[in-house]
Amino acid sequence: MISLKMENKEIPEIELFTDGGADPNPGKGGYGVILRYKGRQKEFFEGYEITTNNRMELMAVIVGLEKIKTKSKVTVYSDSKYVVDGIEKGWAENWERNNWIRKKGNLVLNKDLWERLLDVIDEHEVTFNWVKGHAGHIENERCDALATKGINAENKIEDEGYLEYLKHIDWYQEQKIEKVGDLCRKCNTAVIKKTPKKRKIKPGQNYYYEYYLFCPNCKTMYMVEVAKREVTDNKLF
């Protein structure tokens, strides 16, 4: 925790420098954080057994902000476009409004960390700045070194959010959509039955689908074997 003494109830102005990574990606991960206030600074780092670059970049910012226990004006410096643009361009807020589903129906990766980041941002006045990594930026280089210490640490911890994601992927790959009411593999919504309004049989086509299953939430279509029909007369349609 960074100790803050407010003068005349002024909001403290704090600089937060962060970096994170995984080696390989996914693989062993770590993050590094520097918090600076009125010339004083504190450093933090942590290592994880298996995670990703983006998760460690997010985690670095989250941990840094969560260390600040007094409402503050915080300027964040990160070399991650993923993190900086996700906040500054409003992507994360849009994802949250859309129930963490992207335009093409894909689930937003790292939802657990984006939610956590948005929550802690609400407690402060936060501005994000992108800095070029490995370009001689003193604090960024130091954070990179701290993140590497995390990656190489003996006592690394588990990234529970990433492990849950891996379980979801395993379930997704095994899950079959076969009938009305089955849950969409992308957003977990019950699928419905839809019949094409127009059907055109192409020369040499041997089969068609009489209907398909459709997710009303993320608009994903599922072509199912039980709906497959053989073409017996190309002039039927």
* 188 and 126 co-located in one domain: no
Residues 165, 187, single domain; the answer is: no
Question: Do 182 and 162 share a domain, yes or no?
Answer: no
Looking at the structure, do residues 160 and 190 belong to the same domain, yes or no? no
Same domain flag for 87 and 101: yes
13, 90, 134, 210: the active-site residue: 134
Distance of alpha carbon 196 from alpha carbon 213, whole angstroms: 11
Residue 53 in domain: yes
Q: Do the beta carbons of residue 45 and residue 32 sit within 8 Å?
A: yes
Q: What is the CATH number of the domain that holds 161?
A: 3.30.420.10
Task: Give the per-residue pLDDT at 62.
Answer: 98
The pLDDT assigned to 187 comes to 72
Strands ordered across the beta sheet of 221-222: 192-194, 212-214, 221-222
Q: What is the pLDDT of residue 19?
A: 98
Domain end marker among 115, 143, 171:
171
Residue 206 belongs to some domain of the structure: yes
pTM for this one? 0.72
Domain boundary among 171, 191, 214: 171
**Same domain flag for 108 and 199:** no
> Is residue 7 assigned to a domain?
no
Catalytic residue among 46, 79, 139, 159: 79
Single-letter amino acid code for the residue at 178: E
In the sheet that holds 27-37, the strands lie side by side as 40-51, 27-37, 13-23, 73-78, 125-130
Q: What is the DSSP letter of 136?
A: S
Residues of each annotated binding site: 19, 57, 79, 144
Catalytic-role residue among 57, 64, 124, 150: 57
Q: Is 184 inside a domain boundary? A: yes
Does residue 189 share a domain with residue 127?
no
How far is Cα 85 from Cα 91, in angstroms, rounded to an integer?
Answer: 7
- Is residue 5 a part of any domain in this protein? no
The answer to whether position 182 is within a domain reads yes
Examine the domain organization and report whether 143 and 207 are in the same domain: no
Strand 27-37 and strand 13-23: the pairing is antiparallel
Number of folded domains in the chain?
2
Same structural domain, 31 and 128? yes
Largest CA distance in the chain: 86
- Is 20 designated active site? yes
32 part of the active site: no
Any catalytic annotation for residue 79? yes
Structural domain including 25 reads 13-171
Q: What residues form the annotated binding site for Mg(2+)? A: 19, 57, 79, 144
Q: Which residue has the tokens 């969560």?
A: 66
Tokens of 139: 């604090």
The domain boundary residue, chosen from 171, 199, 216? 171
Question: Do 122 and 181 belong to one domain?
Answer: no
Which tokens go with 217? 């939430």
Residue-wise pLDDT tens for the chain (237 aa)? 555 444 457 899 999 999 999 999 999 999 999 999 999 999 999 999 999 999 999 999 999 999 999 999 999 999 999 999 999 999 999 999 988 887 766 778 999 999 999 999 999 999 999 999 989 999 999 999 999 999 999 999 999 999 988 877 655 555 678 888 888 877 778 889 998 877 677 777 777 888 889 988 878 888 888 888 887 754 444
Q: Is 8 a domain residue?
A: no
Asked if residue 162 and residue 81 are part of one domain, the reply reads yes
Same domain, residue pair 135 and 204? no
Q: Is 88 a catalytic residue?
A: no
In a domain, 2, yes or no: no
